[in-house]
Amino acid sequence: MQQVLVTGGGGFIGKALVRALVERGVRVTVVGRNRYPDLEPLGVECRRGDIRDADFLERACAGHDTVSHVAAKAGVWGPRTEYFAINLHGTENVLAACRKAGVERLVYTSTPSVVFDRQNLEGADERMPYARRPLCAYAASKIAAERAVLQADSARLRTIAIRPHLVWGPGDHHLIPRLLDRGRTGALKVVGDGTNRVDITYIDNAVQAHLRAAENLAASASGAGQAFFIGQEEPVNLWSWINTLFARVDIPPVRQRVPFALAWCVGLALETVHAALRLEREPRMTRFVAHQLTRSHWFNHRKAENLLGYRPAITTAEGVERLVAALGQT
């Protein structure tokens, strides 16, 4: 890799990836909707634009050998058309721009949500089929986008998808802040019996997976046209991990429990009300979230180990220490 374009380079994963690439001496261009004054002093070129703009993307991709496509509309609520316009059609624009500009490699940030079909996933590997009944537009749009990326693999443009799960760490402005806010206000409750285990991915490990994937495409390309689960290789009990983090930042542990059936019904009711009133804000509970908070979802990472050489460099315990330090706690 000599010159890499990162879509969504101003986001949590994207910005961490950009910094890692710069440290390696790679010339980096960021495509995003804003200017990023904290990146420009690093020598990063920031191109302001939208991945829904095909002409803009073609110009931006020119002169790059690799594209890391991180940009996406995340979340579990919002117009289905917007999710597909950004996550699917935006990805199709990225692929088309890569072909026209002669980009050789594309690494796509996918999600394990593409295989989550409401059941427990325990040690699941990449043979798991795509979900047939995704409960939110985000998952449905990412399924379509990942398929497009993997089907686009060719001798001219090698493609690969990584599926990091629940990425967290310093710099996160979504998952961890929401957890802490709901913990402080007492709004967070254990859904189900509290025994579910999940994969989580420390930010540095997600970045390492991106780099390993790009290196694989540049060398043997043995992972080309394939998807890879990425995590800590040590699933955690979701609620124990949350309470461990809360204890470090002086937040009372989550003790109150809500049956899954009740959470699911509340989610359905809130989704119905929000849709009827066309409310833009995310409901406090959705059916997808109820399933995610109740089910186990952890994965086998052997394929990433064997083909990409991926092994998490930062343990979960070390990640918590770094996060707590970043939050200004002891």
Q: What are the catalytic residues?
A: 138
Quick one: which of 89, 101, 285 has its CA closest to 187?
285
In angstroms, the CA 12 to CA 32 distance is 12
170 within 8 A of 321, measured Cβ to Cβ: no
CB count, 10 Å around CB of 232? 20
For the chain, the residue count is 330
Surface-to-core class of residue 73, CB atoms within 10 Å of its CB (0-12 exposed, 13-18 middle, 19+ buried): middle
Longest dimension (CA), the chain: 55
Q: What is the DSSP track for 82-149?
A: HHIIIIIIHHHHHHHHHHHHT--EEEEE--GGGG--SS-EEEE-TTSPPPSS-SSHHHHHHHHHHHHH
In angstroms, the CA 78 to CA 229 distance is 26
In angstroms, the CA 295 to CA 178 distance is 20
Tokens (6 digits) for 249: 């930042």
Angle at the Cα of 193 from the Cα atoms of 187 and 194, rounded to 5 degrees: 65
